[in-house]
Structure 1
Amino acid sequence: MSSRLTTIKEKAVSLARADHGCLLVLSFAANLLTFALTLVSSQFPLFDASPHVLLPPPPHFSLRHTLASAVLRWDAFHFAHIAREGYVYEYEWAFLPGVPWIMSHIVHLGPVLGRSARAAPRWELLLSRALWSSILSMFSAHALYDLTALQFGSRPIALLAALLSLLPSSPVTLRIAGYTETFFTLSSYQGMLCCAKKQWLWATFCFMLASAFRSNGILLSGFILWGLVVEPLLESSKIRVGRTLYAAALCALVLAPFVYYQYVAYRLFCLNVPSPAPWCAASPPSIYTYVQRKYWNSGFLLYWTRQQIPNFLLGAPPLILLFTFTLRYIRLALLPRLHAFISPPTPTGAKSSDAPTPPFLPRSIAPHVIHALILSLLLLFASHTQIVLRAAASMPLTYWAAAWLLVERPAWGRWWVGWSVIWGAVSCVLWGVFLPPA
C-alpha cells in the first residue's frame, strides 16, 4: 500500500514538473509576443509626444533608446523620475516607492525617498533595464498553478487557471513596462501560497513586499487574519487569544511599509515647517489619500461622471466576471457555512459537511472571494474603474472564475477567452501609440 502511494505521489510530482515546464515556455512566448507587438506599435505616430521630449530620437539607431521609448508611457514617467531624482513634486507621493527603488538599484545603489548623492542615471538606462521585470512575470503562472492545485486539489483546474493567466487584461503593464503589477502580482501569489501552506512568517514577508508597491497591498493582511483567527473560529467555535495576538502582529507588519511611507511624508510636510500641508490636520493624516483625491479625483463616486462611461465599459468584463463568481460563492458556499456556524446543532443524521463539495466551491478559497469582492467594490465606486484591467491579474480569483466559466458555462467561457485575446492585443497597440487606458 505504501509503495503504491509513493508511486502515485511520484507521478503527481512528475506531472506537476511537466506542467511547470510547459507554463515556463508559454509564459516566455506570451512575453515575447507582448513585447514584439508593443515595440512595433511604439513606432507609429504617438497621440502624446511626451516620450520624444524626454527621450529625443538619436541620430543613429539605438536599441537602448528604442526599448526605453517603448515603455515610457503613463505612470512610467513618474516611476522613472522618482528613481532618478527622488520625490520632488507633491503629486508623486501617489506612487509608492517599490518600483522606483528597484529602478534605482538596478542601475546603482542609492536612496529613493530623497535625492541621490551620486550622478543621476540616464533615463534610457532606467527604463530599458526595467524590462528585466518581465522575467519575474514568467513565474506568476507557476505560483498560481501551485496555489490552485493546493486550494482545489485538482491538477486540471490548476493547469487551466494558470493557462488563463497568460491572457491578462493588461499584458504590457504586467510583463514589460516595469510597472507595479509585475512585482505586486508575484509577491501576492507567493504570500497567498504561503498562507495556504500555513507558513505565516513567509506570507507576511511576501505581503510586506506587495504593500511596498501598491496601497491595496494592505488588504492582503486579511488572508493572515482569516487563516489564524476566522478559520479556526468557524471550525471549533473558539477564539484563541495567542493566535489572535500573533495574527495582529503579523498584520501590523504587512501594513508597516505603507505606514512608514506616510510617516516619511508627515515628517517632510508637517513637522518643523513654516506652513504645514493641508492634509496634516486630517485624522489620520495621509498624503496618499490627499494626492489621490486632489490630482487623480479618486474618492467615493467621484469618478461616476458621464465623461467616464467609456472607462466603465472598458473595465466591465473583469468586474462582471468577479462579481458573478464572488456573489455565487457567497450565496452557495459562504452564507450556508456561516448559517451552520450560528445555528443550533443539527439532529442526529447525515451532516451537511458530508455532502460532496462542487469543484469550484471549496471552503479554502473563502478569503480570496472576500478579498476580490472588497477590491472590486473599491475599484467600482472609489477609484479609476478601468484600473481593474491591471489589478485583476493580482487576484487568483479572476482566473478561477474564468476556469469556472469554461468548465460549467462553456459558451461564456469561450467569450471570455476571445475577449482576453482580442483586448490584450488591442491594449498593446494602445499602449504603444500612447492612448488610454493606462
Structure 2
Amino acid sequence: MVITLRRLPVSLTPLATPRLRRLLAAQVPSDLADWLDFVALSALVAFQWQLGPGAVASLTLALALPYVVLAPVVGVLVDRMDQRTLLIASNILRSIATAAFVLAPNLLVLLVFVILKSSADALFTPAKQAAIPLLTAPDQLLSANSLSHMINQLTKIVGPALGGVLIVFLELQQIFLANAGLSLIAALILLGLPNGLRSSHTNTARRKFSQEFIDGIRHIRNKPLLATAILAMAFGFFLIFLYDGLIALLVKEIGFSSALLGASVASAGAGGVVGSLLLGQFCEKRDPFQLMIASGLAGGVLIALMGHVGRGDIMMPPLVFCVLLFATGVASAGLFVPYRVVLQKETPPELIGRVAAVGEGLSAAAMMTAPPIGAGLAEIAGVSAPYLVSGYATAIFALMLLCVRRRIDKRDELMAGD
C-alpha cells in the first residue's frame, strides 16, 4: 500500500518515506524487547532469587555502564561503518545476550550477560541517530525524531504492562527467549534498509580510534550551540533521575492507593506520546533549542508542583495528579526530541556517531550518579525534596540556557559581520 503525503498529518509525513518507515518499524520490537527485559530481569532478581535493593541497583548500573565506557569505540564505529550493518548486528548481538539470560546461575553471571546486551544497545542508539538524517528530508527531522520518541514512549507503556501479564502465564526464562525473538524480528526488518547507508563524506582513511574520537570532541568544542545542548541534556538527565525512581514513594506519601501507581506511570508515558505528536505536527519550523528551553521551564515548574503536592502544600485529587504527570510527560518530549534535532543539524553526517556517543555517554553517567543522590536526599529531607530540587533547578537552568543562547546568537552575528 502506497502512503501519500496528502493523506498524512504533518507529524506523520516521514512515514511516507519507505526506508525511514522500515527503520521505525524495526524500532517497535527492539524497544519493546528492552522494556520486557527490564521487567523480567527485575522479577528474576527480586522475586525468584529473593535478592535485595543492592542487586536491583546493580542491574541499573550494568545497563548504563556500557554507554559510558564504550562511547569512544561506538562513536568511531558508527562513523566508519554502514549503519544498516551496525543496526542489524546490534540486534543480533542483543538477541544472543538476552537468550543467554536463561543460562545465568547467579547474579554475577547475569550481570555479565546484561552488560553484553547493553553494549549492543549502546551501539544501536547512535547508529539509529546517524541513520535518521540519512533517511529523512532535512525539513522533516523534527517529525522523524518525534515519531522515534513516540515509539519509545509507547513501548514504555505497553512493555511493563505486557511484562506483568506474561510473568503470570510464562516462566521468566520463556520471556527472555521471547525477547530474544523480538530482537531477531527487528534485525529481519532492518535487512530491508539499503546497503551503504553512510555519509558520502565519510573519511575512508583509517587512523587510531582515539584520534578519530578526538575529532568528534573537537567538533563539539567548536560548536557552542551543540556543546550547550549536550551538556544541557546530560544535566537534564541528572535532574530527571534524581526523582524518577521515587514515584511509588511519592504516591504513598500523598496518601493515594497503590492502584494509582500504574496509572501515574502510564499518564507520564501517554504525555510523552502526545508531546511527540504535537512537536511533529506544529513545531517543525521552530528553533529546536528554543523548544528545549521552553520545555525545560514548563517541565521544571510541573515537577516542582509534584513536590509541593507530596509535601502537603497543595491538595490534589488523584485524577488531577494523573493530569499533572501527563503534562510532565508532554514537557519531557520537548526536551528529548529537539535535542536530537540540534545534534543532527549541528553535526556533519560523517561525525554524528562520535557526537551522539558523547551525548549518550554523558547522559548515561548522569543516570548512574543521580538515583543514589536522589535517594539520599529523600532520606534526609523527605520524598518530596528530590522533586522540589529537580523542578526548581530545571526551571532555573532553562532560564540560564536562554541567556546562553542569546550570547551565542550575538557571537554568531559578530563573526558573520567580520
TM (norm. structure 1) is 0.28
Structure number with greater CO (CA < 8 Å, separation at least 6) is: 2
More helix by share: 2
